[in-house]
Amino acid sequence: MKLLVRTGGLLEPHDYGGLRVSLSEVFALGELADSGTLSQGELATRLSLEKSTVSRLAAGMERRGWLSRERDPANRRFYRLRLTPDGWTAAERVGADLRTTHAALFEGLTADERAGLTLGLTGLARALQGRDHAGRGRVPPHLPGDVS
């Protein structure tokens, strides 16, 4: 895992489609593009991040002009997050860049390597689902059907 994180430079922001974006921003853009509108709590759950971390993430994305945070009319304690037009553009650029990068990476693998990677990552995701962030075992609420 350490080799993968270091080799991929996953802890540092990268240029995606000409935008300097952190990995958390990449995933937040994707979740918001898929869902349209989410509360900060829903986004925290989907990203497996603390609510305070997502609050800072959303504030930073709001400063970049990528999302709007509005009070939920049904419950003023919650913010609803939604991509702005610039946010949609960012999500599209980042998504296109990732698709191109992933296609190039997978073209460098043999068919057997791709099949092995799919099988191995599916098993790893299942094993990680059953652990908390401290590495202790726990019973997951559900297991994903597909990790691709």
pLDDT digits (tens, 9 = 90+) for 44-101: 999 989 999 999 999 999 999 999 998 878 777 788 999 999 999 999 999 999 999 8
Residue 133 banded pLDDT, cuts 50, 70, 90: low
Which residues are CB-neighbours of 66 under 8 A, at least 6 positions away? 25, 29, 83, 84, 86, 87, 90
Q: Which of 122, 71, 74, 67 is nearest to 89 (CA)?
A: 67
Q: Give residue for tokens 């019973």.
A: 139
Task: Judge if pTM exceeds 0.85.
Answer: no
What is the predicted pLDDT for the residue at 140?
Answer: 42
Span 30-57, mean pLDDT?
93
Q: Give the pair of three-digit tokens for residue 101.
A: 């990068």
Taking the alpha carbons at both ends of the chain, their separation in whole angstroms is 18
The answer to whether the beta carbons of residues 131 and 138 sit under 8 Å apart is: yes
What is the predicted pLDDT for the residue at 21?
Answer: 93
Which residues are CB-neighbours of 57 under 8 A, at least 6 positions away? 24, 25, 28, 49
Q: Give the pair of three-digit tokens for residue 7.
A: 């080799």
CA distance 84 to 128: 33
Q: Give the pair of three-digit tokens for residue 89.
A: 């553009």
What is the predicted pLDDT for the residue at 103?
Answer: 93
